[in-house]
Amino acid sequence: MADEDPRGLSGRCGIAVLIIVIAAISATTILYAAGSTQENSPTGSNGLATADGQIALPAPDHKSGSTLDYAMEHRRSSRSYLNESISPETLSLILWSAQGITDPASGKRTAPSAMHTYPITLYMAVNNVTGVSPGMYTYDPVTHSISRYLDAAGKDAVLEAMGQRQVFSAPVTIILSGNSTVFTEKGQSSETALRHICLEAGHIVQNILLMETSREMAGVPFTGFNSTAVDEQLGLTGGHHVVYAVTAAYPADR
């Protein structure tokens, strides 16, 4: 198993600038040529699937967890997990911590966003969530729902492309993709766009890890994967590229 990405996140973002055109051209071609398992195309400006297969999540229960101080003190990366499912209620909390809307009037969320642009889309590889079929899903913060995006075989292909063993035993792996066009359309350079995306991804993943810890869960944030291969398996096109991932699980090493 790879540990940390030897290039580091900033180096990876720099390389992402170089591969942006090649990946955009090749991703769709390879996915569909291979006999796609994609169930809904990323049709919206944020790359979300259509409403088909949408699952409304329960409202987050904010009274069930430990304090923020406890979560900050006890957060540790874990790569070894119990064979225990995650409930929809817990998935709801985790996704709310990542990108939940906390002010419906402005649309502002739990994590900050450069120029209020929200360039990150969350993809969930679901292996073991109670009542949710294994597969790949996307999160829609506006409706606080998940939509089925790839079937179980498509999800497995994404996890294979990620290449780190913890993704196979984790009930959920959350994969973050960034949309650089929201910045380049405002006249910003691709490098600035990727800097914003990587920083925002960091905010989101820390929120997820602290929420997990507050519910006696753990995961590992990771970048040590072939992002072009993961982009291809997810069918990401245009300015959309995977930048970061984090598992959600009940740890076996505590």
* By CB under 6 A, residue 51 contacts ligand FMN: no
* Contact string (CB under 6 A) for ligand FMN, positions 2-21, x = contact: xxxx---x------------
198: helix, strand or coil: helix
* By CB under 6 A, residue 77 contacts ligand FMN: yes
Q: Which one of 114, 224, 238, 252 is in contact with ligand FMN (CB under 6 A)?
A: 224
Residue of this chain nearest to ligand FMN (CB atom): 224
Q: Which one of 37, 40, 79, 243 is in contact with ligand FMN (CB under 6 A)?
A: 79
Angle, helix 8-33 to helix 227-234, in steps of 10 degrees: 40
d(CA 91, CA 241): 23
Least distance in angstroms from the C-beta of 71 to ligand FMN: 13
Least Cα distance to 212 among 90, 36, 114 occurs for 90
Question: At 101, phi and psi to the nearest 5?
Answer: -85, 120
Question: Over the Cα atoms of the chain, what is R_g?
Answer: 17
Q: Which one of 60, 119, 135, 221 is in contact with ligand FMN (CB under 6 A)?
A: 221
* By CB under 6 A, residue 222 contacts ligand FMN: yes
Q: Enumerate residues 6+ apart whose C-beta is below 8 A from 206.
A: none
* Contact string (CB under 6 A) for ligand FMN, positions 155-194, x = contact: ---------x------------------------------
Using the contact rule CB under 6 A, the part of the chain among 63-71, 73-81, 129-137, 178-186 near ligand FMN is 73-81
H or E segment to which residue 200 belongs: helix 190-214
Least distance in angstroms from the C-beta of 215 to ligand FMN: 17
Least distance in angstroms from the C-beta of 222 to ligand FMN: 3
d(CA 65, CA 214): 5
Question: How far separated are the first and last CA of the chain, in Å rounded?
Answer: 20
Mode of pairing for the β-strands spanning 120-126 and 135-140 = antiparallel
The residues binding ligand FMN (CB under 6 A) are 2-5, 9, 76-77, 79, 164, 220-224
